[in-house]
Amino acid sequence: MTAEQEKIFKQYYDLIKYYNIPDNNVEYIKLNKQDEILRDFYKIKLKGNIQDEIVAIDSMHRSATLPRLIFPSYQEFKLESGENYLANAIPIFGGDIGAYTTYAALANQFINCRLTEIRFRPVILFEEGKIQTKLQDVYRTYYGEDYLYSLGQHSNFNLFYQDFKTRLYENYHLKFKKEGGKEYQNIDVGSPLAKKFEVQLLLFIHNLKHFKLTSINDEDYTRSDYFVDSIAHAKTIDISTVDKGTHKNRVEFYQLLNYFREKMITSLCEYKRGNNSYYFIPTNYYQEFFTDEDKIKVTRLISLLKDDKLLDNGVFELKRRFEESKTTQGKLKTFYSILREDFLDVEHRIHDPKINFLGSRRNVKPIISIKIIPAKARINLVEEQDYINLDHIKEYSNLKDFL
């Protein structure tokens, strides 16, 4: 290849290499070197290693009725086995079909077709603990202020989040390396790696939409945080006015969840003995907590879980815990534990106190505080995706008015 051809080849190959970094580099060898490679192999390794045996066989006097033993000539070897040897021994000649195809396409070596364009997704590498920093780089490099001021200011959070996320997954190849890990692994929606990444993506998009890109540190955002945010957005909605569909199902899910949250809070009892006083809740599920009507509501709540994609994809673990509980009784026990974990701050002692409750001696958890519903919730994936502030978009009748 000429210097100009090599320059163009390298330019396009670097794009492909950036998308999929090879484990081992494949050496480029000119096609006119094939005969030299075959000849060296034939003379030095193939024939050279058994030269004494060839001489011995040639000196033998065999019966005329037996076939002659003659070592194949180079031309016979080349015609019968040369192609297989090159393909198996030399990567660029077939041992690595991907490498050869890349070379042949870029160098226009195919007879009946030619390369017209290259499509690939740039690779974006994320590291645990540094996701917020990388997302800021991604926003500035691939999205930009025009995206924020156009869609960001004229869409609600759910629409902005879903659009940003969809573009990110569809247009880029996302990889993630755990803290202390050596290798980057693919981030696929619903995969275990996606959990930590998508939590940070939620927070980043919220901060971006509200012009709060001040922190470069990853933040904690738990299932409990997500639940109280979602309940804050859902609890005041008149569900009878909402059309049937996934939006209505999400509203119903979080209104039911809030019903059980309030039920657990009102079930707290106070323990007093001398100077020892605290509110408590039984450590383990007890039969009296859920009424028969409640059990129907729990079943309904579990059926609605699939309409919250973060819960359905396991970003916040809930679905798996219900699936692991095979019986109705098991699901009630699981749900009781979840309510306690997500809506109450409990005191953790080496041994839980044991007191009389509902006629039995039970282990209990002393309550430190109740997790309140925020007045200004952050994340809102309960709402339907929709455009907002459209009245603020001015219509221009001509270019002069615009300028």
- Residue 402: the pLDDT is 44
Given a cut of 60, whether residue 399 has pLDDT beyond it is no
Q: Range with the lowest mean pLDDT among 11-20, 34-43, 180-189?
A: 11-20
Cβ count near 302 (within 10 Å): 19
Could you tell me which residues are beta bridge partners of residue 186? 175
Let me know how many helices (H) and strands (E) the chain has, helices first: 16, 8
Could you tell me which residues are beta bridge partners of residue 177? 127
The DSSP code for 73 is P
CB 310 within 8 A of CB 316: yes
326 falls in which pLDDT band (50, 70, 90)? very high
Give the residue among 141, 108, 124 at the shortest CA–CA distance from 12.
108
- Residue 5: the pLDDT is 66
In the chain, the amino acid numbered 144 is G
Residue 120 or 188, more confident: 188
Distance CA 316, CA 339 (A): 14
Share of the chain above pLDDT 70, in %: 88
pTM of the model: 0.75
pLDDT in tens, 364-393: 999 999 999 999 999 999 999 999 988 766
Could you tell me which residues are beta bridge partners of residue 387? 155
In the chain, the amino acid numbered 6 is E
Distance CA 216, CA 379 (A): 19
CB 341 within 8 A of CB 246: no
CB 219 within 8 A of CB 203: yes
Cα 88 to chain centroid, rounded: 37
Residue 98 or 330, more confident: 330
